[in-house]
Amino acid sequence: MENKRCVVLGVTGGIAVYKALDVISALRKKDVDVRVIMTKSATEFVTPLTFQSMSQNIVTTDMFAEPKAWEIQHISLAKRADVFLVAPATANIIGKVANGIADDMLSTTIMATRAKVIFAPAMNTNMYTNPIVQENIAKLKKLGYEFIEPASGRLACGDEGKGKLAPASDIVEKVLSEFYDKKDLIGKKVLVTAGPTRANIDPVRFISNRSTGKMGYAIAEEARDRGAEVVLVSGPTNEPAPYGINVIKINTNEEMRSEVLKHFETSDIVVKSAAVADYKAKEYSENKIKKGNGDLEIILTRDNDILKELGEKKSGQILVGFAAESQNVVENAKGKLIKKNLDYIVANDITSKDSGFASNDNRVTIVTREGQELSLDKMSKREVARNLFDIIGGKR
């Protein structure tokens, strides 16, 4: 148990207390040791026994209770934490920490820890927007404490607005990101494109491709976990929006081009993994094209070559392209790298039956501008992303 990553979870009194159980469950499935501190108010909503059963650890509630082991408990837990998470975090605990008040086990332990402290607020929307609460949050952020923004919606009290505890999946993503072993992109801005684009024919029909966006989303998550500020420009996909990433949804080639150009100049690394439509209908029909007796002929014309345009515009950015090929995979990728002035290109064989489109795995060859080739056997798309950033950072 001692070798596991440890999260100390502070649970404060609010109707969202029960949602912290989902956070514990998800963290335990990732082999994280969870130690729970509950405030007295929190125990009025859910019993400590419930949290003890879920975490498989003794729950701490009283600063003056007889210790289970010979140790000063708030110091012991403060030192044990790799990440200190407070979820749900009430206005009360935020105010205490912001003003140096340590009058119970949770606030005392937060004061004593050197671990990253993350608050996930949950409260009535009027409380959350109260200038005093916002001033306390701003003060803590300035001191290095982090916050997971609450969600908006109908609150337990019946009000509508911001104040719901963020989804457990977002909270867990944030915590696991803190544990990530590589933080070489802190201070960097990474722009990623993902998924397909659509070339509209009429109001109900379009041309697209089989891209699901899985590779691009994996790249964006890898960059985020390494510490980068990430913008993800995504075509239509069923992939859930990753926590902590600025996801911009688009449909067409032109929309993608517009969004990419907005962020290109301020980006350090640009990874164009989207499957952008090369052609579009020469004439778009404002009305649905009716079925006739004969064949339907649609004339296609070339659409924007976004990657080539970026290659012409780049002024210090690292530019990475993808090449989905069905023959002469590496040779065609090398030609694309030179033609479009790329620094790296990732080539994958789309004829592979067990990887690529719609799969969680990929089998690729990464080619550098200097002509070096790294062939990666079948692995998860997240592992491909990890290898890609290792190569960009000169770690392979």
Which pLDDT does position 124 carry in this prediction? 92
Provide the residue range defining the domain that includes 376. 189-394
Q: What is the CATH number of the domain that holds 98?
A: 3.40.50.1950
CA atoms of 10 and 267, how far apart (whole Å): 37
- Asked whether residue 99 falls in the same domain as residue 136, the answer is yes
Is 249 marked as a binding-site residue? no
- Asked whether residue 223 falls in the same domain as residue 147, the answer is no
Residue 249 phi/psi, 5-degree rounding, is -90, 135
Question: Is residue 202 one of the residues assigned to a domain?
Answer: yes
Residues contacting 88, CB < 8 A, separation 6+: 11, 12, 14, 16, 17, 19, 20, 120, 121, 122, 123, 165
Q: What is the CATH number of the domain that holds 353?
A: 3.40.50.10300
- Asked whether residue 314 falls in the same domain as residue 207, the answer is yes
Question: Is residue 184 one of the residues assigned to a domain?
Answer: no
For the record, the structure tokens of 253 come out as 């080639």
Residue 157 appears among annotated catalytic residues: yes
Residue type at 289 in one-letter notation? I
The total number of structural domains in the chain stands at 2
Question: Is residue 148 one of the residues assigned to a domain?
Answer: yes
Is 390 marked as a binding-site residue? no
Other beta carbons within 10 angstroms of residue 143's beta carbon come to 10
Is 51 marked as a binding-site residue? no
Which pLDDT does position 74 carry in this prediction? 60
Which pLDDT does position 394 carry in this prediction? 73
Question: Is residue 92 one of the residues assigned to a domain?
Answer: yes
pLDDT per residue as tens digits for the range 224-239 = 999 999 999 999 999 9
Which pLDDT does position 64 carry in this prediction? 62
Residue ending a domain, among 143, 159, 179, is 179
Residue ending a domain, among 179, 208, 229, is 179
- Asked whether residue 55 falls in the same domain as residue 126, the answer is yes
- Asked whether residue 260 falls in the same domain as residue 370, the answer is yes
Of 151, 157, 261, 289, the catalytic one is 157
Q: Cis check for the bond before 203: say yes or no (omega within 30 of 0).
A: no
Residue ending a domain, among 155, 179, 203, is 179
- Mapped to the 3 state alphabet, what secondary structure does 177-215 carry? HHHCCCCCCCCCEEEEEECECCEECCCCCEECCCCCCHH
Which pLDDT does position 70 carry in this prediction? 42
- Asked whether residue 134 falls in the same domain as residue 153, the answer is yes
Is 29 marked as a binding-site residue? no
- Asked whether residue 171 falls in the same domain as residue 198, the answer is no
Question: Is residue 1 one of the residues assigned to a domain?
Answer: no
- Asked whether residue 204 falls in the same domain as residue 137, the answer is no
Q: pTM to 2 decimals?
A: 0.89
* Sites in the chain below the pLDDT cut of 50: 1, 70
DSSP state of 81: -
Residues contacting 221, CB < 8 A, separation 6+: 242, 245, 382, 385
Helices 253-264 and 306-313 cross at an angle (nearest 10°) of: 20
- Asked whether residue 122 falls in the same domain as residue 194, the answer is no
Question: Is residue 357 one of the residues assigned to a domain?
Answer: yes
- Asked whether residue 170 falls in the same domain as residue 271, the answer is no
Question: Is residue 63 one of the residues assigned to a domain?
Answer: yes
- Asked whether residue 14 falls in the same domain as residue 108, the answer is yes
Which pLDDT does position 68 carry in this prediction? 53
Site of tokens 């290659």: 311
Is 162 marked as a binding-site residue? no
Q: What percent of the chain has pLDDT over 90?
A: 81
- Asked whether residue 25 falls in the same domain as residue 62, the answer is yes
